[in-house]
Chains A and B, each alone.
Chain A
Amino acid sequence: MRRIAWSVALALACLAAAGGGLQGPAGGAGSTGASPPAPACGTPPTSITLSPMVPCDVNATSGTLQGLQNDFDVYSWNSFIALNWPVSASGAVEPGVKIGQNGDNPTVWETWSESSDIFLAGGAPPPPFGQHTPPPAACQNLYTPGMRVVTQIGKTLLEEDVQPFKTGPLVDQNGQYTRFEITVNENMFDTIVGYQLYNQQGQQAYASAGNSVQFLCGSNPTSQVGAIMAKAAWKVLGKGDNPGRFHKVQALVYTPDAKDLKDRCVLQTLGMVGLHIAHKTTSAPQWIWSSFEQVDNAPDQGQVEPAGSHFNYYNAGCKGCPVNEPPPRPWNASIPGQPATQVERVIPIAPSTAQLNQTAAALLRSVNPASVWQYYELISTQWPTQPAAASTFCPPPGGPPVKKSPALLNETDGNPAPQFLANATLETYIQGSVPNVSSSCIRCHHAATATTGDTADFTYLLERAESVIAPPPAPSTSGGMQ
Chain B
Amino acid sequence: MSDAARMESFIGLSQALTGISRSVLAPDLDPIDLKSTYLQTLDQQIGPPATDALLQLYVDLKQQGLSDEQIAQTILEPPLPPPPAGIDPVAQAAQARSIMKMWLLGSWYMPTLPGQAEDLSGTVISANAYTGGLAWTIAQAHPMGYSELSFGYWATPSPPLPDGIPVQQTPPPQVVVPSAQTQPSAGGDHA
Contact = CB atoms under 8 A, between A and B. Distances in A.
Contacts of A447: 150-151
A1 interface: yes
Interface residues of B, number: 27
B159 interface: yes
B136 interface: no
A256 interface: no
Contacts of A409: 149-153, 155-156
B3 interface: no
Interface string A54-71: 000000000111001000
A418 B29 CA distance: 11
A21 B146 CA distance: 38
Contact of B153 (A410, A418, A453): A410
Contacts of B70: none
B145 interface: yes
A3 B148 contact: no
B29 A65 contact: yes
A410 B149 contact: yes
Given A406-B156, A434-B127, A435-B128, A5 B149 contact: no
A446 B148 CA distance: 9
A63 B28 contact: yes
A416 B30 CA distance: 9
B30 A65 contact: yes
B32 A419 contact: yes
A436 B145 contact: yes
Contacts of A413: 148
B31 A417 contact: yes
Nearest to B156: A406
B98 to A, nearest CB: 24
Interface string A1-38: 10101100000000000000000000000000000000
A454 interface: yes
B162 A1 contact: yes
A113 B53 CA distance: 63
B163 interface: yes
Nearest to A413: B148
A64 B28 CA distance: 7
A385 interface: yes
Nearest to A453: B152
A167 interface: no
Contacts of B155: 409
A407 to B, nearest CB: 8
Interface of B: 23, 27-32, 127-128, 131, 145-146, 148-153, 155-163
Interface of A: 1, 3, 5-6, 63-65, 68, 385-386, 406, 408-413, 415-419, 433-436, 446-449, 453-455
Which 8 pairs from chain A and chain B are nearest by CB? A417-B31, A385-B29, A406-B156, A410-B159, A412-B148, A1-B162, A409-B153, A409-B150
19 contacts: A1-B160, A1-B162, A3-B23, A3-B27, A65-B30, A68-B29, A385-B31, A409-B150, A409-B151, A409-B152, A409-B155, A410-B149, A410-B156, A412-B149, A413-B148, A435-B128, A436-B146, A446-B148, A453-B151
